[in-house]
């Protein structure tokens, strides 16, 4: 049984999709959970809905692409609720196009949110984890970080970069009781994949041996394990959850 009582988790981008399912799962295991979204009302409403099943969930507005804001918000959280034990870098966006048409704005937006945002959050929580000599950093990457994907040079670079950063975090803080791992989902039913055209969905489904997209809860199960004491000897790894699409 995974027991996260007494642990405080920060899940970036917890307002919907995979992040929301992760927040629900960590709450169910007894953690105090803080979720973030870009708008104050979005984060507050999602936190209120999550709290209905019991447990302590707070929502805060945070744009993870804003490096200074990340530092300030996590510092304030430290004063208001205490240091973060479990960080789940989940906030992510896509802005797809083939390389020859992808503009600088699309590159910067995706790298700044997915990769720089994850770095900023990890940097801001590490000191508190070191003091406790316990911490969990879980980076949500993607199957495409290993496979590449047409139209996603920015997203693929960000996710592969997050996996490299995960291995460095694992090495730098292993002796302090802090683990860092990545969870790389395949195609999961969320707003992000619902935005895809039917033909693209069909093409992808044909490549998935279990013949369906995954559910956000199936990613959340893996995150709960990695956040637990049971996963203390697992660090620097990428856990793939993709219905067999990549093996």
* C-beta of residue 149 within 8 angstroms of C-beta of residue 191: no
Report how far residue 85's alpha carbon sits from residue 5's, in angstroms, rounded to the nearest whole number.
Answer: 11
Classify burial at 111, counting beta carbons within 10 Å of its beta carbon; exposed 0-12, middle 13-18, buried 19 or more. middle
Closest-CA residue to 135 (of 87, 172, 173, 85):
85
Least distance (Å) between residue 224 CB and ligand NAP: 16
**Strands, E assignment, 84-230:** 86-89, 135-140, 178-185
* C-beta of residue 227 within 8 angstroms of C-beta of residue 31: yes
Catalytic, out of 155, 173, 225, 233: 155
- Smaller CB distance to ligand NAP: residue 42 or 177? 42
- Smaller CB distance to ligand NAP: residue 75 or 133? 75
- Smaller CB distance to ligand NAP: residue 217 or 229? 217
Known active-site residue 155:
yes
- Smaller CB distance to ligand NAP: residue 3 or 138? 138
Closest-CA residue to 86 (of 46, 138, 124):
138
Least distance (Å) between residue 1 CB and ligand NAP: 26
- Smaller CB distance to ligand NAP: residue 138 or 170? 138
Least distance (Å) between residue 188 CB and ligand NAP: 4
Least distance (Å) between residue 139 CB and ligand NAP: 9
Q: Site residues (CB under 6 A) for ligand NAP?
A: 12-19, 36-38, 42, 62-65, 90-93, 113, 140, 142, 185, 187-188, 190-193
Report how far residue 34's alpha carbon sits from residue 50's, in angstroms, rounded to the nearest whole number.
Answer: 11
**DSSP secondary structure code for residue 152 in this structure:** B
Handedness of CA 44, 45, 47, 48 (dihedral sign): positive
- Measured CA distances, 15 to 12, 57, 62, 85, 190 (Å): 9, 12, 11, 20, 12
Classify burial at 149, counting beta carbons within 10 Å of its beta carbon; exposed 0-12, middle 13-18, buried 19 or more. middle
Least distance (Å) between residue 147 CB and ligand NAP: 11
Report how far residue 83's alpha carbon sits from residue 14's, in angstroms, rounded to the nearest whole number.
Answer: 18
- Smaller CB distance to ligand NAP: residue 171 or 212? 212
Least distance (Å) between residue 50 CB and ligand NAP: 12
The catalytic residue positions are 155
């Amino acid at each position: 049984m995974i027991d996260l009582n007494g642990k405080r988790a920060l899940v970036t981008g917890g307002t919907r999709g995979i992040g929301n399912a992760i927040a629900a799962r960590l709450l169910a295991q007894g953690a105090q959970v803080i979720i973030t979204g870009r708008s104050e009302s979005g984060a507050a409403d999602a936190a209120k809905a999550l709290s209905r099943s019991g447990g302590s969930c707070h929502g805060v507005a945070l744009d993870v692409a804003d490096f200074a804001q990340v530092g300030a918000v996590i510092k304030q959280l430290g004063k208001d609720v205490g240091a973060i034990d479990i960080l789940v870098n989940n906030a992510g966006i896509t802005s797809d196009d083939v390389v020859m048409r992808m503009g600088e704005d699309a590159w910067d937006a995706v790298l700044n949110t997915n990769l720089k945002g994850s770095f900023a959050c990890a940097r801001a929580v590490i000191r508190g984890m070191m003091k406790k000599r316990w911490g969990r950093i879980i980076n949500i990457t993607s199957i495409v970080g290993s496979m590449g994907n047409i139209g996603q040079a920015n997203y693929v670079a960000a996710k592969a970069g997050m996996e490299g950063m995960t291995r460095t975090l694992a090495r730098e803080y292993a002796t302090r009781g802090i683990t860092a791992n990545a969870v790389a989902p395949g195609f999961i039913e969320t707003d992000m994949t619902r935005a895809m055209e039917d033909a693209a969905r069909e093409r992808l489904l044909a490549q998935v041996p279990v013949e369906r997209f995954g559910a956000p809860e199936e990613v959340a199960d893996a995150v709960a394990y990695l956040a637990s004491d049971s996963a203390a000897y697992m660090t620097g790894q990428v856990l793939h959850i993709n219905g067999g699409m990549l093996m």
